[in-house]
Amino acid sequence: MLYGHGLEADFFGCRIVALAGAYGLAQPFVRFWRQSQGAYLACLDGSAVLSGTGTADWEELQAFLPAAGVRSVLCDAAAAVRLPAFPVQADGVVLARMREGGAAVPEHELNPGPRELYSLLKQCETNTFRVPPFEGFYLDLSHRTRHGAAVSVAVRENGGELAACAFSTVQTASLAVISGVAVRPGCRGKGLGSQVVRALQAHLSAPRVCVYRARGENEAFYRALGFQQSASFVELRVLLEQPEPEG
């Protein structure tokens, strides 16, 4: 269903393929759709990813997304233009590079606990980098790690708290996505971010690696590591979050 259409090498399709590989196609909380005109869509707990070509039926997609209960959709910037009913809630660039082979692997810890990773990520939140709710993050990362679909690396400060981490939850035969990199504020300026990115790449088998960044945020850091802009992404808001009922 998902392989054989170039999805595994597409910056958005790879996320769909990786999600199917991690959870299968029969779980009620993760759903997949294929439009005959050339669009693929996956949705996990209301957050969707769209990989669509110019031949897709965009009017149908614009009507389908809210009807399917999608709250937000991540897609290519060109696809977002074809879905004008939905406001932009975030945008940025996709930076990519070929994975290094044979390079020395920096010292690191493999797959530290998700709770520790989450605590470090919370310390590094910014206006454009918001950590998702703990329960969803914990369950998703734990599941993907157990099934070999995710890998995390970290370094500690003097053997204690995590000082820096990097992790990937999206891997296909052609492309891997660096899902997050964080360095504790008090530990910055020591090269730890570069250290964990290089260590993470050593555990990824895909020949190409990419990362999504808000425009201007840490681009210089990734470019210094050999990443170059290869695409632009947009996250569209489809349905507003509904308030919890009182009482």
Q: Tens of pLDDT along 141-160?
A: 999 999 999 999 999 988 78
- C-beta of residue 188 within 8 angstroms of C-beta of residue 182: no
What's the pLDDT at 217? 83
Q: How far apart are CA 75 and CA 86, in angstroms?
A: 12
Q: How far apart are CA 130 and CA 220, in angstroms?
A: 20
What's the pLDDT at 241? 52
Q: How far apart are CA 71 and CA 65, in angstroms?
A: 8
Q: How far apart are CA 46 and CA 214, in angstroms?
A: 21
Angle at 226 between CA 208 and CA 22, to 5 degrees: 30
Kindly tell me the burial class for residue 79, based on how many C-beta atoms sit within 10 Å of its own C-beta (0-12, 13-18, 19 or more): buried
Q: At what angle do helices 13-23 and 134-146 cross, to 10 degrees?
A: 70
> Model pTM?
0.90
Q: How far apart are CA 23 and CA 122, in angstroms?
A: 26
Tens of pLDDT along the chain (247 residues)? 454 568 999 999 999 999 999 999 999 999 999 998 889 999 999 999 999 887 899 999 999 999 999 999 999 999 999 999 999 999 999 999 998 777 788 899 999 999 999 999 999 998 778 899 999 999 999 999 999 999 999 999 887 899 999 999 999 999 999 999 999 999 999 999 999 999 999 999 999 999 999 887 888 999 999 999 999 999 999 986 544 455 4
Q: How far apart are CA 18 and CA 24, in angstroms?
A: 10
- 106, two tokens: 């920096």
What's the pLDDT at 3? 47
Q: How far apart are CA 117 and CA 141, in angstroms?
A: 10
Q: Max CA-CA distance within the chain? A: 60
What's the pLDDT at 37? 81
Q: What DSSP state is assigned to residue 153?
A: E
Q: How far apart are CA 48 and CA 50, in angstroms?
A: 7
What's the pLDDT at 49? 98
What's the pLDDT at 243? 44
What's the pLDDT at 216? 78
**What residues pair up with 40 in beta bridges, in sequence order?**
34, 51
What's the pLDDT at 247? 47
Q: How far apart are CA 48 and CA 15, in angstroms?
A: 10
Element containing residue 67 per DSSP (H, E): helix 58-67
Sheet strands (E) in 85-225: 88-98, 109-110, 151-156, 162-168, 170-171, 175-178, 180-183, 208-214
Q: How many CB atoms lie within 10 A of CB 100?
A: 13
C-alpha closest to that of 146 among 123, 176, 114, 189: 114
